[in-house]
Amino acid sequence: MTAAGLWVIVPAYQEEARIGATLRALAAQRDREFTLLVADNGSTDRTAEVVREFAAGAPFPVELITEAEKGVGCAVDSAFRHAIARGATGLARTDADCLPQPGWTAAVRSGLRLHGGLLCGRITAREDEHGPLGRAAFRALVAVGAGFGRIRPAHRRRHGYLAPYRMHAGNNMAITPELYVAVGGMPRRPSPTDRTFLNRVRRRSTAITHCPEMVVQNSTRRLRAYGVVGTACWYLDRGSGGRDTDPR
């Protein structure tokens, strides 16, 4: 993969209060040889303006597209396909409320070069949203979700999967363009989409690699909005109940 061939995708909706921190985290990467593509999913706040202001002095190329069809899956899919059409040789994604750690893009580049396929990174809780107990609860919920995914009967390999289940966080992933196109892309629908996308990859390829060097601090606002039990149901793929799926 050439230096210019890596694209970082960030879907965003109504994120004017948070996306600035995400953009600054990307500007602080040790490897800044990439193109940033923000897919605005029809925000009515200043999300797009914040991105344009950042782009004026960014240390890498920045593109902004608007996806009118609602749903994070729609924004991600359109952005990935835009990057592929522009010649991307590697695709990475994080979200507009997340903080990629300084070595994230370097780990993405190294992982794609060594393994190809799909890379699944490690998520931790943002340190500016909850105290130690909240971060511990987040770690526990992620561990429960990952464990449930591994033992869930529907995820067993007898159902046509080529690789074992491994929890996949859409806000910390990377993939080759070839594999993305081969599996049909991200489901074009609202969140959650991660598990469905992972299973599309599992039906097509065994090239799924856990990359612990890819670290992203994840927002815990769902924990605040849903509580521990509600968030657990979300991670266990039990939906949001009567709650709004967008926990702002």
Q: Report residue 137 as tokens.
A: 């609860």
Q: Which domains does the chain have, with CATH numbers?
A: 3-235 (3.90.550.10)
Contact 135, 224 (CB under 8 A): no
What backbone torsions phi and psi does residue 121 show, to the nearest 5 degrees? Answer: -90, -175
Is cis: bond before 192, omega within 30 of 0? yes
Would you state the pLDDT for residue 247? 46
pLDDT in tens, 2-59: 556 999 999 999 999 999 999 999 999 999 999 999 999 999 999 999 999 999 999 9
* pLDDT of res. 227: 61
Is pLDDT above 50 for 148? yes
pTM of the complete model:
0.87
Task: Give yes or no for residue 238 having a pLDDT over 60.
Answer: no
Are 209 and 135 in contact by the 8 Å Cβ rule? The answer is: no
Average pLDDT over residues 132-154: 74
Stated as kind and residue range, the H or E segment containing 214 is strand 208-218
